[in-house]
Amino acid sequence: MNNSIKMAAILLASTALIAGCGKKKVEQLPPVAEGTEGEMATDPNAGTGQIVPGSQEDFLASVGQYGDRIYFDTDRFNVDTEDQTTLQQQAQWLARYPNTRITVEGHADERGTRDYNLALGERRANSAKNYLTSVGVDASRIQTVSYGKERPQAMGSDEQSWAQNRRAVTVTVQ
Partner 1 sequence: MKPQILAGKLLALLALLLMPLAVQAQPATPAAPAEDEPELVEFDTAKTRSIAVPALVAPAPADTPAGNTTALGRQIAEVISSDLRASGVFETSGPNGLRAITLAEVTTPQFDYWRGRNVEQLIEGFVRVGGDGNLTVGCYLYDVGNGNEVTRLGFNVPPRDWRRAAHKCADAIYSKLTGELPFFDSRIAYIAETGPKGKRVKRLAIMDSDGANHRFITNGQSAALTPRFSPNYKSILYLSYVDGNPRIYVYDIDAGRQRLITQSRNATFAPRWSPDGQTILYSMAVAGNTDIYKISATGSGTPVKLTSSPGIDVGGSFSPDGRQIVFESDRGGNQQIYVMNADGSNQRRISFGQGRYATPEWSPRADLIAFTRIAGDFRVGTMRPDGSGERLLTNSWQDEAPTWAPNGRVIQFFRTAKGTGKTSIWQVDLTGANERKLPTPVDGSDPAWGPILP
Q: What pairing do the DSSP bridges indicate for beta strands 167-173 and 69-71?
A: antiparallel
Q: Confirm if 17 and 62 have CB atoms less than 8 A apart.
A: no
State the binding string over 57-76 for partner 1 (x if CB under 8 A, else -). ------------------x-
Strand order in the sheet with 142-148: 69-71, 167-173, 101-107, 142-148
Q: What pairing do the DSSP bridges indicate for beta strands 69-71 and 101-107?
A: unpaired
Give all strands (DSSP E) within 108-166, no chain letters: 142-148
Smaller CB separation from partner 1, 93 or 131: 131
Q: Binding segment for partner 1 among 14-22, 52-60, 89-97, 112-120 (CB under 8 A)?
A: 112-120
Query: Residue from 27, 41, 45, 116 that binds partner 1 (CB under 8 A)?
Result: 116
150 binds partner 1 (CB under 8 A): yes
Residues engaged in binding partner 1 (CB under 8 A):
34, 39, 75, 77, 110-116, 118-120, 122-123, 125-127, 130, 144-146, 148, 150-153, 155-157
